[in-house]
Structure 1
């Protein structure tokens, strides 16, 4: 009897296995936090680049990354057709090759090179990380159908992400204190350390997780994807149509808007916060790093939010997280506008602590919701297309990050920002503070307004999942209960009569 391939062998989902899965988010949570908080600062301080030049590198790489995300969604969904995909898994193959390539992260933090060096190294790392993260993000959907088990996996991922976010802000602060905050060496040491962690973490995830084998029935449905038919031009057009079809799902449209605006708001904050502390409040880079390192509270928040996700649902978490962030952004702004000079660091500590509680909730919730979205698509199309949904999420986020980063760079330069200067003009200080409050706050507020209308939770997801099982086992659409049909329509935006397309044989039963 032939031994079953390990990558297709389900195992019990334990806390340790959840951590093994979640450790890859050192790349998502760790690298992106460091890049968001320090990349533009590194470019303008140690690489002789202007804010616009630095922002253009980050922006261009994110655009390329976004395009790569789109291509990867369809590629990983259809990679089962190749020998490599069959042997290593259509998701896991990309983790295996991504592990050693994570070491290229070191090249981002070498000071004194020219514009095109930084352009090339950042572009390459972004594309590689995207090619790995898209398949990774489908794994909870691959490993289990159970709401609680998926929540356990996603919670473990967010727990690791919170720890990575803390280390990504805490370690640079300590390196500044040891090696000096006016030297590029802390950035290189930090980059080397995290690159090694990234490489090890990705391989651990490859070793301890699994995916569903592609059955003949799944192959039949996947072959219906437009990308699999016609000329090259028709396939490209079909690929775009497949991505566009994800927006047919009502809950995904709302989820995408929530994710898009909240994470772009968070990234805007990360980009400008070091400038705010140093130039608006007159504090050091070490203080800025230490305040960002209060993200450590995210470890506790992740545990609490995991229980909240099961008991109260995502809508409650959105309200709490976004509300806290908005209040604390006002707090930051008032510290600057009121020219508070006494106990500034203490006030900043408390505001930053509660902001990080909100931020941790912001990061936790969308990625805990995401594994349930492809199930809504499955009841509409009968297909499992988690890769395409992950790609659309990544594409939209990375596209907006590019816009936000470039916008921050232009606003700074337009306000008279002077690179390598110890102080900035009053106009520049006000521009920085306005980005912090109105840029970040406006985006988070939009996300909150959309979240107030979000209906997907444990109860409604279970209704949809049970209906999928009933239909797959030969149940008839005409026998559906009215409340089930209403729930399906509310979550998908598609009338029940139009979901679960029937072939001629099924119609004639």
Structure 2
């Protein structure tokens, strides 16, 4: 039988965790590459590595966190563990560096590695919790609507507040501005993580199958055997890479295409603002056309907006904001639907296997998601390096070659659109539906009767 509706207080308590996920996923992706290339004099390709490698570590640590959290009675203590380490590590990442150039990349990379590890302690168990709160197909979407609503607000606030703090003195961002931003965002992370720990204290816990105590390799093999999960993982990877490239490219797009460093805030608001108001709309779309159909519509909107954005130099700043807003409407659907579909694939696995291993799946998911976001910064760094982009420090401004300006358009607009087309191809092959899950439940009930 479907689970009872979850109380609003629990939905809010769980949703608050999105302030951690949204903030930590957004701010480094938006500012860290630009911080290193334009404030610390780090070459673009090396700066991209400093962003990417700590997140690549997620491929190792996240599955282990998922496996270990599967073995605990409650996943909530893991949330608190992440809260102890992530805020101070994040603050130190943007606190400045005693060195500049290539050594600064190593210094920043070490702090960012510690922050990424702490984020895994929180985020992997957090993503596994919905599948253990409710079995109902549409209640999953309702719960995740709250999560994604909070996520939209968190990304909106973090993406608007962080650049504003960095530019608090006006003009080109300074190291002091980045340091202030790091401290403020660290406080936001701490409050959100602790609030989620206490806000989920009364969460129901559906009795699941016995946790599978097998080796990590066997559990990853199980993930590969879950076809809907692997297709969803592939389409999510393409989406996250697209967003990673776009976010990393936003400061460059504002500075060199729009020639207005403050425009990074308004561009970001145009992308994320629709997430706050469009979530209920996408829930209705998913009910009418199923989640797969909704995902296709959202992807097409994002792709069309990205292609149109590449013509900004012809049509101007207002046009650019309109294109980004169209991408934001699609992005809202991408975010809601992929996480709702993820919960479905976790239930699908348990109904088929009779084993509790959601943490392994969410560990692999979170690792892939964060790695692809970070790879977006690395990819952009490679593109800028190949195009001859010149890194600098605030007191030594430089002029960029025309090839570098063209590369910024590619990274900020065309590359994200192309990558989402890959996600569309994966979505067309995804076929898990409510009917499939209900048939598996009926078969399980017959066996256990």
1:188 & 1:385 partners in 2: Cα distance?
Answer: 40
5+ long unaligned stretches in structure 1: 1-9, 81-88, 228-238, 475-509
- The residue number in structure 2 matching 1:477 is none
Conservation of the 8 A alpha-carbon contact between 2:255 and 2:261: yes
TM-score of the pair, normalised by structure 2: 0.90
Distance apart, 1:11 and its partner CA = 9.5
2:205 & 2:150 partners in 1: Cα distance?
Answer: 27
- The residue number in structure 1 matching 2:324 is 352
- The residue number in structure 2 matching 1:234 is none
- Indicate whether 1:79 and 2:72 are aligned: yes
2:7 & 2:177 partners in 1: Cα distance?
Answer: 37
- The residue number in structure 2 matching 1:242 is 219
- Indicate whether 1:226 and 2:203 are aligned: no
Distance apart, 1:392 and its partner CA = 1.5
- The residue number in structure 2 matching 1:42 is 35
Deviations 1:97-151 (A, max 9, x none): 2223232221111124332321211000001101211111111011111223222
Give the direction of change, closer, same or farther, for the CA distance of 1:406–1:362 in structure 2 (3 Å limit): same
Give the direction of change, closer, same or farther, for the CA distance of 1:214–1:300 in structure 2 (3 Å limit): closer
Question: Match for 1:441 among 396, 417, 436?
Answer: 417
Give the direction of change, closer, same or farther, for the CA distance of 1:360–1:181 in structure 2 (3 Å limit): farther
- Indicate whether 1:54 and 2:42 are aligned: no
1:467 & 1:273 partners in 2: Cα distance?
Answer: 50
1:56 & 1:138 partners in 2: Cα distance?
Answer: 29
Deviations 1:1-24 (A, max 9, x none): xxxxxxxxx996233321210111
Of 260-269 and 401-410, more deviation after overlay is shown by: 401-410
- The residue number in structure 2 matching 1:431 is 407
- The residue number in structure 1 matching 2:154 is 164
- The residue number in structure 2 matching 1:125 is 115
- The residue number in structure 1 matching 2:61 is 68
Give the direction of change, closer, same or farther, for the CA distance of 1:206–1:13 in structure 2 (3 Å limit): same
Distance apart, 1:316 and its partner CA = 2.1
5+ long unaligned stretches in structure 2: none
2:43 & 2:350 partners in 1: Cα distance?
Answer: 48
Question: Match for 1:412 among 380, 384, 387?
Answer: 384
1:37 & 1:465 partners in 2: Cα distance?
Answer: 43
Conservation of the 8 A alpha-carbon contact between 1:321 and 1:358: yes
- Indicate whether 1:316 and 2:293 are aligned: yes
**Which has the higher relative contact order, 1 or 2, with Cα contacts under 8 A spaced 6 or more apart?**
2
1:464 & 1:275 partners in 2: Cα distance?
Answer: 50
Which is greater in Rg? 1
1:96 & 1:11 partners in 2: Cα distance?
Answer: 28
Secondary structure of the structure 1 residue equivalent to 2:429: coil
1:326 & 1:377 partners in 2: Cα distance?
Answer: 31
- The residue number in structure 2 matching 1:17 is 10
1:170 & 1:399 partners in 2: Cα distance?
Answer: 23
- The residue number in structure 1 matching 2:135 is 145
Question: Match for 1:465 among 434, 441, 447?
Answer: 441
Give the direction of change, closer, same or farther, for the CA distance of 1:164–1:456 in structure 2 (3 Å limit): same
TM-score of the pair, normalised by structure 1: 0.80
Distance apart, 1:292 and its partner CA = 0.8
Distance apart, 1:65 and its partner CA = 2.1
Deviations 1:252-283 (A, max 9, x none): 1211111111111111111112212322x242
- The residue number in structure 2 matching 1:495 is none
- Indicate whether 1:188 and 2:165 are aligned: no
Deviations 1:411-431 (A, max 9, x none): 211211111245311111112
Conservation of the 8 A alpha-carbon contact between 1:173 and 1:285: no
1:348 & 1:430 partners in 2: Cα distance?
Answer: 16
Secondary structure of the structure 2 residue equivalent to 1:312: helix
- The residue number in structure 1 matching 2:189 is 198
- The residue number in structure 1 matching 2:360 is 388
Distance apart, 1:177 and its partner CA = 5.5
1:120 & 1:284 partners in 2: Cα distance?
Answer: 32
- Indicate whether 1:376 and 2:348 are aligned: yes
- The CA RMSD over aligned residues, in Å, is 2.2
Deviations 1:457-504 (A, max 9, x none): 334333333333333x33xxxxxxxxxxxxxxxxxxxxxxxxxxxxxx
Secondary structure of the structure 2 residue equivalent to 1:353: helix
Deviations 1:287-346 (A, max 9, x none): 12211112122101112222333333211221221111111111111223xx34xxx221
Conservation of the 8 A alpha-carbon contact between 2:240 and 2:369: yes
Of 399-408 and 120-129, more deviation after overlay is shown by: 399-408
- Indicate whether 1:288 and 2:264 are aligned: yes
1:466 & 1:348 partners in 2: Cα distance?
Answer: 51
Give the direction of change, closer, same or farther, for the CA distance of 1:213–1:206 in structure 2 (3 Å limit): same
Deviations 1:379-427 (A, max 9, x none): 3211121101101212323343444332221221121111124531111
Deviations 1:427-453 (A, max 9, x none): 111122223344212210010122123
Secondary structure of the structure 2 residue equivalent to 1:218: coil
Aligned residues: 434
Secondary structure of the structure 2 residue equivalent to 1:35: helix
- The residue number in structure 2 matching 1:28 is 21
- Indicate whether 1:265 and 2:250 are aligned: no
Deviations 1:195-219 (A, max 9, x none): 212212112221222567697x833
